[in-house]
């Protein structure tokens, strides 16, 4: 229940553009609004539709600060579109300052995506606190942060030709190891001295000097890595408040979360209702990852060879790689979604037993929170670290495609794993059900709700 103190607390929320970054921060916004905070969300015009359900649910205390999408400057030396996207957001420094100075009751803190490290300087200029929101887990974030700390090491590794060369992160708990090809492509393309990259690198390192940090994770999933981040930051203003997922009936309900489904949710759920419990494999590679022609061929061949019922979510750009007649050949076993899928509603359905996933952090949390066994096929970013967490440390998943982003699985072996994944006695399935219970407890009465309350209290005391 909101207190009179928290209702006077005004927080500025700044999202980064991709859906995988926006959606969890809006989930957090929903939780904070229900605790009585006043919130202004900085959002681009193209993403306003993602915010509208929250505005309709919280018309009094939620406000929007909409800017037209900044045009990324052409920066030929950086050679990376993400760098240009981040640089483009910095054009909003002065407009935000102008808005802040004209506001009758301006925010006392800003929470912004970890790619927007430049907002540290913005907060300092405005005389307010800045908090980091990480759309990645604590392990993935820590590895990414370590990579950017040592430019000498970066330059040394940039000259390596051995894609399988292993890097050990010995300062982290469990001393994780990743191959060169499994590390952030953005980091691997770093060019020392390039203004765009150096600007971005400064922002990443500035995150660790922020007043606080919020993770969409929970103690039972990543406790040792949350403790590591606290040690690195030198204080305890690090909150693990996840999994940040909507309930069935909230403003950000599971069927409409993140956008409109490419198929009527009712039709999809009716199809699932006809299936036995834990009998369906859900296959999806998130909002941004795509498959090569060889990878799609291996995947669809495996689905045909297997005996499982499945839902296959395919991007429009990948449809050309699906062979003619595939849908007819799999008949009633398969349901294909061409575009955005209501993923959370699918995973929460009792018929779904396993999940072929790229291991993006949102998908990882949604799978764990639904008690669904993960079949890991990471492609880039923090996904290899997340797969390592699921398979090697938590034992709630099985690798179906190892190696680098372009690795192609063996269709026959993949078909076998698909069939095996639905067996009730799989140890991974038993463990993920227990982890699901831990996640549920964390957000209802455990560490995550305690951290969320602590976070609100700290804001109110400002």
d(CA 54, CA 417): 40
- Residue 330's contacts (CB-CB under 8 Å, 6 or more residues apart) are 303, 304, 310
Give rounded-to-5 percent helix, strand, coil for the chain.
50, 15, 35
Is residue 109 within 8 Å of 211, Cβ to Cβ? yes
The 10 Å Cβ neighbour count of residue 149 is 12
- Among candidate residues 10, 21, 80, 349, the one labeled active-site is 21
User: At a CB cut-off of 8 Å and minimum separation 6, what does 270 contact?
Assistant: none
Please answer whether residues 335 and 268 qualify as being in contact, where contact means their C-beta atoms are separated by less than 8 angstroms.
yes
C-alpha distances in angstroms, 232 versus 203, 229, 310, 385?
A: 16, 5, 43, 19
Give the tokens for residue 43.
């959002």
Please, are residues 280 and 311 in contact by the beta-carbon 8 Å criterion? yes
Instruction: Please name the helix (run of DSSP H) or strand (run of DSSP E) that holds residue 281, with its range, or none.
Output: strand 280-284
Cα–Cα–Cα angle for 97, 81, 25, nearest 5°? 55
- Give me the catalytic one of 27, 30, 84, 113: 113
Which uninterrupted H or E stretch holds 398?
strand 397-399
Among this protein's residues, is 113 annotated catalytic? yes
Q: Which residues does the annotation mark as catalytic?
A: 21, 113
């Amino acid at each position: 229940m909101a207190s009179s103190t928290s209702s006077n607390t005004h927080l500025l929320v700044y999202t980064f553009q991709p859906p995988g970054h926006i959606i969890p921060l809006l989930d957090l916004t929903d939780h904070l609004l229900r605790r009585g905070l006043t919130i202004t969300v900085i959002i681009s015009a193209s993403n306003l539709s993602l915010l509208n359900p929250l505005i309709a649910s919280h018309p009094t205390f939620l406000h929007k600060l909409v800017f037209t999408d900044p045009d990324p400057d052409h920066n030929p030396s950086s050679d990376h579109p993400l760098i240009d996207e981040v640089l483009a957001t910095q054009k909003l420094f002065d407009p935000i300052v102008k808005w802040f100075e004209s506001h009758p009751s301006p925010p006392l803190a800003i929470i912004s995506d970890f790619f927007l490290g430049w907002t540290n300087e913005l907060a300092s200029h405005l005389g307010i606190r800045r908090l980091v929101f990480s759309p990645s887990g604590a392990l993935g974030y820590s590895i990414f942060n370590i990579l950017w700390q040592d430019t000498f090491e970066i330059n040394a590794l940039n000259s390596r030709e051995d894609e399988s060369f292993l890097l050990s992160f010995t300062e982290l708990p469990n001393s994780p190891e990743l191959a060169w090809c499994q590390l952030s492509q953005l980091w691997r393309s770093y060019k020392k001295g390039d203004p765009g990259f150096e600007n971005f690198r400064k922002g990443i390192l500035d995150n660790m000097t922020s007043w606080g940090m919020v993770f969409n994770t929970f103690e039972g999933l990543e406790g040792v890595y949350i403790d590591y981040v606290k040690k690195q930051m030198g204080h305890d203003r690090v909150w693990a408040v996840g999994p940040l997922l909507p309930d069935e009936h909230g403003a950000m309900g599971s069927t409409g979360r993140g956008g409109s489904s490419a198929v009527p949710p009712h039709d999809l759920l009716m199809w699932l209702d006809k299936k036995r419990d834990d009998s369906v494999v859900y296959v999806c590679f998130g909002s941004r990852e795509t498959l090569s022609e060889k990878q799609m061929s291996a995947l669809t061949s495996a689905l045909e060879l297997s005996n499982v019922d499945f839902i296959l979510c395919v991007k429009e750009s990948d449809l050309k790689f699906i062979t003619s007649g595939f849908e007819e050949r799999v008949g009633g076993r398969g349901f294909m979604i061409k575009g955005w899928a209501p993923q959370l509603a699918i995973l929460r359905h009792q018929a779904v037993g396993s999940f072929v996933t790229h291991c993006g952090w949102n998908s990882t949390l949604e799978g764990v929170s639904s008690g669904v066994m993960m079949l890991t096929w990471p492609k880039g970013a923090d996904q290899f670290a997340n797969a390592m967490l699921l398979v090697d440390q938590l034992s709630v998943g099985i690798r179906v495609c190892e190696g680098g982003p372009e690795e192609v699985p063996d269709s026959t072996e993949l078909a076998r794993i698909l069939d095996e994944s639905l067996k009730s006695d799989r140890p991974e399935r038993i463990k993920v059900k227990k982890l699901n219970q831990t996640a549920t407890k964390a957000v209802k009465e455990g560490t995550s709700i305690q951290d969320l309350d602590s976070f609100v209290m700290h804001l109110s005391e400002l």
